[in-house]
Amino acid sequence: MLVQKSVKKNVKGSVRQANYGKIIKAAVTVFATKGYQGATVQEVAEKAGLPKANVLYYFKSKQGIYEAVLSDILSLWNSSFDHATAQDDPAVALSRYIREKLEISRTYPEASKIFAMEMIKGAEQLSDEIKAGMVSWFQSRIAIIQQWIQDGKMANVDPAMLMFQIWATTQHYADFSAQISILKDGKMLNKKGFQDVGDYLCRSILSSCGLKVPE
Amino acid sequence: MLVQKSVKKNVKGSVRQANYGKIIKAAVTVFATKGYQGATVQEVAEKAGLPKANVLYYFKSKQGIYEAVLSDILSLWNSSFDHATAQDDPAVALSRYIREKLEISRTYPEASKIFAMEMIKGAEQLSDEIKAGMVSWFQSRIAIIQQWIQDGKMANVDPAMLMFQIWATTQHYADFSAQISILKDGKMLNKKGFQDVGDYLCRSILSSCGLKVPE
DNA sequence: CAATATATTGACCAAACGGTCAAGTTTTGC
DNA sequence: GCAAAACTTGACCGTTTGGTCAATATATTG
């Protein structure tokens, strides 16, 4: 995941940062494959190469680890669509967003899975701040799409449904990779496979917005 | 869920059937909100109004309850699309399938959630028979869509991607209902809301197949 | 170098969990 | 009406888990 990439030695707090990173990385894998309740601190510790008591020295509780993982994940959700404006070309902005979301599904499928499970279970562990942030992000994006429609730049589609459609179709390739693998003869989708999916989704979604996929 | 709807009294095995039904119904709710590992036999028992030992008399183990729930859920997946043929009109068959899948998301969101979690975790608890059944169903449906394309009845889209698109977009409204509720001011989608989603998805998906939504 | 903060770790504990069992009660089949 | 089968249930048990703690080691700093 993100966390800290290369941690220099002998820098103030470097031990802490290095262990934080190791623990979060291990925790992401464990939570994604076992779920919150199925994950054990012991397994996170083993994957991180630390004794369990040491993990709980950095994160006071399993809940604490999970919250750190969630906030780490949310930083992945950032995209170029965050800064789209009513002046932009919707075809460019939307197709780029679709491809970015799909790329995250390909590169960080575990993050997508943890987020999906959190939503399926009712998002009870998601803090109110995070929820509020999601709402304001969503409303501002909706407003821009609505402006595009008013300006005659795209067809009159429900902006919320359009967003849900993009999320559903792109995240599906991370969350349901096991199903896709079963149906595709046990083979996981490779980079070219994702490229084809991106082409398909851009063509499909943009065309239903009355847009053409840009070069 | 399905199980047994009204169980007549004093019918051979009626006690067993009634309790089976109570337990499965309770288990579906618990598994959907807690996941497999988060669910406890105790909680299933309480929701079913039975002592824990009695639940384990009918289902030998927690695993046994879960398998029964999974197979109960899979019967919901049946749809009119199972019997579609190359002679059918793709516009009719596909739009009907989309609406049926969406109706299941609306009516049995818990079933969709359990299935989604099973896939996210890697489908390790899904039996090989069930997987084989999924594969053969999928391949036969792919073949029909391919025939439609060859017959010039619809545009040349990747049939597998089309299926994934339909599943992703329709199941999203069950699995991510918590997120949708957060973003929609805390309100759950009502029946009319689902109707609108169905209209939107049919128009979008069919149009990218070069089809028009039938009346 | 001394003293103070930070980090490491094995041992331990209470709670919760899945599952068993034996002792009863009720229902069924003849 | 009675024996056998099916059902019910409280009590119990071994295991696992999240979390604590005290003892020790290692860094940091003035």
Q: What is the CATH number of the domain that holds A36?
A: 1.10.10.60
Give how far B61 is from chain A: nearest CA, Å: 17
Last residue of a domain, one of B25, B57, B73: B73
Residue B112 has pLDDT above 90, yes or no: yes
Instruction: Pick A169's closest partner by Cβ from B36, B119, B165.
Output: B165
Answer yes or no: do B82 and B46 share one domain.
no
Asked if residue A138 lies in contact with residue B183, where contact means CB atoms within 8 angstroms, the answer is: yes
Which pLDDT tens digit goes with each residue over B50-96? Answer: 999 999 999 999 999 999 999 999 999 999 999 999 999 999 999 99
Q: Residue A168: its pLDDT value, please?
A: 98
Nucleotide D11: nearest residue by CA–C1'?
Answer: B53
Residue A214: inside a domain: no
Cβ of B12 less than 7 A from strand C = yes
Sign of CA dihedral B85, B91, B95, B96: negative
CB contact under 8 A, A36 and B38: yes
CB contact under 8 A, A167 and B164: no
Cβ of A53 less than 7 A from strand C = yes
Q: Find and list the nucleotides of strand D having atoms within 7 Å of a protein beta carbon.
A: 6-11, 16-22, 27-29
Q: Residue A13: its pLDDT value, please?
A: 57
Asked if residue B198 lies in contact with residue B166, where contact means CB atoms within 8 angstroms, the answer is: no
- Give the CA-to-C1' distance from A65 to C7 in angstroms: 18
Domain extent at residue A54 = 14-73
If phi > 0 it is left, if psi is from -120 to 50 it is alpha, else beta; for residue A13 that is left
Residue B215 has pLDDT above 90, yes or no: no
- Give the CA-to-C1' distance from A14 to D30 in angstroms: 21
Residue A215: inside a domain: no
Q: Residue B91: its pLDDT value, please?
A: 98
> How many beta-carbon contacts under 8 Å exist across A and B?
143
Answer yes or no: do B32 and B107 share one domain.
no
pLDDT classification of A94: cutoffs 50, 70, 90? very high
Which pLDDT tens digit goes with each residue over A107-154? Answer: 999 999 999 999 999 999 999 999 999 999 999 999 999 999 999 999
Answer yes or no: do B67 and B83 share one domain.
no
Label residues B12-25 b or e (16+ Cβ within 10 Å = b). Answer: eeeeeebbbbbbbb
Q: Find chain A residues with C-beta within 8 A of B204's C-beta.
A: 157, 165, 204-205, 208
- Give the CA-to-C1' distance from A143 to D18 in angstroms: 46
Query: Residue B191: which CATH number?
Result: 1.10.357.10
How many whole angstroms separate alpha carbon A189 and alpha carbon A173? Answer: 9
Residue A9: inside a domain: no
Give how far A11 is from chain B: nearest CA, Å: 38
Q: Residue A9: its pLDDT value, please?
A: 35
Residue A170: inside a domain: yes
Name the nt closest to B15 by C-alpha to C1': D7
Residue B8 has pLDDT above 90, yes or no: no
Q: Residue A1: its pLDDT value, please?
A: 44
Residue A180: inside a domain: yes
Which pLDDT tens digit goes with each residue over B122-131? Answer: 999 999 999 9
Which pLDDT tens digit goes with each residue over A19-30? Answer: 999 999 999 999
Answer yes or no: do A57 and A83 share one domain.
no
How many whole angstroms separate alpha carbon A62 and alpha carbon A164? Answer: 31
Residue B1: inside a domain: no
Residue B5: inside a domain: no
- Give the CA-to-C1' distance from A58 to D23 in angstroms: 19
Terminal CA-to-CA distance of chain A, rounded, Å? 31
pLDDT, mean over chain A: 93
3-state class (DSSP) for residue B83: helix
Answer yes or no: do B91 and B54 share one domain.
no
Q: Residue B16: its pLDDT value, please?
A: 79
How many whole angstroms separate alpha carbon B105 and alpha carbon B170? Answer: 7
Q: What is the CA radius of gyration of chain A?
A: 20
Q: Residue B18: its pLDDT value, please?
A: 86
Q: Residue A2: its pLDDT value, please?
A: 38
Answer yes or no: do A176 and A123 share one domain.
yes
How many whole angstroms separate alpha carbon A203 and alpha carbon B42? Answer: 50
How many whole angstroms separate alpha carbon B105 and alpha carbon A13? Answer: 49
Q: Residue A11: its pLDDT value, please?
A: 46
Query: What percentage of chain A has pLDDT greater than the value 90?
Result: 90
Contacts of B152 (CB under 8 A, 6+ apart): none
Q: Residue A206: its pLDDT value, please?
A: 97
Answer yes or no: do A59 and A133 share one domain.
no
